[in-house]
């Protein structure tokens, strides 16, 4: 099989105000994340003002210009109301937990994929890595590796690395990818995943990951891996998702019996 690799120029990293401890995001956005979380979680009482610009500037070791920029952004989102001569007040009650979604996990995967704009970074056939053979020897001698970067509002959020057994790769043509998942393409050929194992952890960004996500080397990332299998247990896809930790998280919902209903991805893209 012929190799077909797409190479992209490295993306610039965010500048850091502290070279000894590089930050993933600019100071104003880090302050925005903290204040938005406080507002959403109801940390600030709704019958009184939040701390003023002077106090916030002191708390966050930032200039008043930076604080004002953050407050302007929160105001545009409708989370605060600035009353001249009185103060700045929360305007929205804590966000309600989204309702339980009645869909299969595989439908959820497909629905989530269409939220982003994907850029193909690699589409390459390679000898099957040992870790895949350990998962399932039926991966075979050759594996298709697909790497995509998912963007929201033109800024990177996730890296997706997907590995497909060589004998199934013909059902995943490069021209058909777009924002579609591998599982969607396999399903169209009658190859239906019956179970999926999801693991979530954390890791530090290496050089390539930092370039793609525009973060500093060593920045914390959410690391999720998924193995999808047929009814006989054969693995038909191994997927890795790396996400900027400051912008991404998971929530899980359970019914009265403690059965998991559906994971919900919390994403707060930079604007």
**CB burial of residue 105 (10 Å; 0-12, 13-18, 19+):** middle
- pLDDT at residue 60 tops 70: yes
As a whole number, mean pLDDT of residues 2-7 equals: 48
Across 40-49, 236-245, 255-264, the highest mean pLDDT is recorded for 236-245
Domain ranges of the chain: 27-90, 105-267
H helix runs in the chain, sequence order = 27-40, 53-60, 64-76, 105-113, 130-135, 182-188, 207-213
Lowest mean pLDDT among 64-78, 103-117, 175-189, 230-244: 103-117
Q: Which residue has the higher pLDDT, 77 or 228?
A: 228
- In whole numbers, what is the pLDDT of the chain averaged over residues? 78
The dotted CATH code for 105-267 is: 3.40.1410.10
CATH of the structural domain 27-90, one choice from 3.90.1150.10, 1.10.645.10, 3.30.1120.80, 1.10.10.10 = 1.10.10.10
Query: How long is the chain?
Result: 271
Q: Is the pLDDT of residue 268 over 80?
A: no
242: CB partners within 8 A, 6+ apart:
158, 159, 161, 203, 205, 209, 213, 221, 222, 223
For residue 170, the surrounding DSSP H or E stretch is none
Is the pLDDT confidence value at 154 over 60?
Answer: yes
Contacts of 119 (CB under 8 A, 6+ apart): 8, 148, 149, 151
């Amino acid at each position: 099989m012929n190799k077909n690799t797409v190479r992209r120029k490295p993306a610039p990293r965010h500048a850091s105000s502290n070279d000894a401890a590089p930050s993933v995001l600019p100071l104003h956005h880090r302050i925005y994340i903290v204040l938005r979380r406080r507002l959403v979680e109801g940390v600030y009482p709704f019958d009184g003002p939040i701390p003023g610009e002077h106090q916030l500037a002191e708390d966050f070791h930032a200039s008043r210009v930076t604080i004002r920029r953050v407050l302007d952004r929160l105001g545009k989102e409708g989370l605060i109301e600035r009353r001249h001569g009185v103060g700045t007040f929360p305007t929205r009650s804590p966000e309600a937990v989204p309702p339980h979604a009645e869909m299969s996990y595989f439908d959820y995967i497909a629905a989530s994929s269409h939220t982003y704009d994907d850029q193909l970074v690699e589409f390459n056939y390679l000898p099957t890595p040992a870790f895949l053979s350990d998962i399932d020897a039926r991966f075979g001698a050759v594996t298709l590796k697909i790497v995509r970067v998912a963007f929201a509002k033109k800024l990177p959020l996730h890296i997706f690395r997907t590995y497909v057994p060589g004998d199934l790769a013909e059902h995943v043509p490069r021209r058909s990818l777009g924002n579609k998942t591998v599982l969607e393409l396999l399903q169209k050929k009658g190859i239906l995943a019956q179970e999926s194992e999801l693991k979530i952890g954390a890791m530090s960004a290496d050089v390539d990951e930092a370039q793609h996500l525009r973060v500093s080397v060593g920045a914390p990332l959410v690391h999720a891996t998924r193995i999808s299998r047929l009814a006989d247990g054969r693995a038909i896809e191994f997927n890795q998702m790396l996400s900027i930790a400051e912008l991404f998280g998971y929530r899980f919902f359970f019914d009265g019996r403690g059965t998991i209903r559906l994971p919900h991805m919390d994403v707060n893209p930079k604007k």
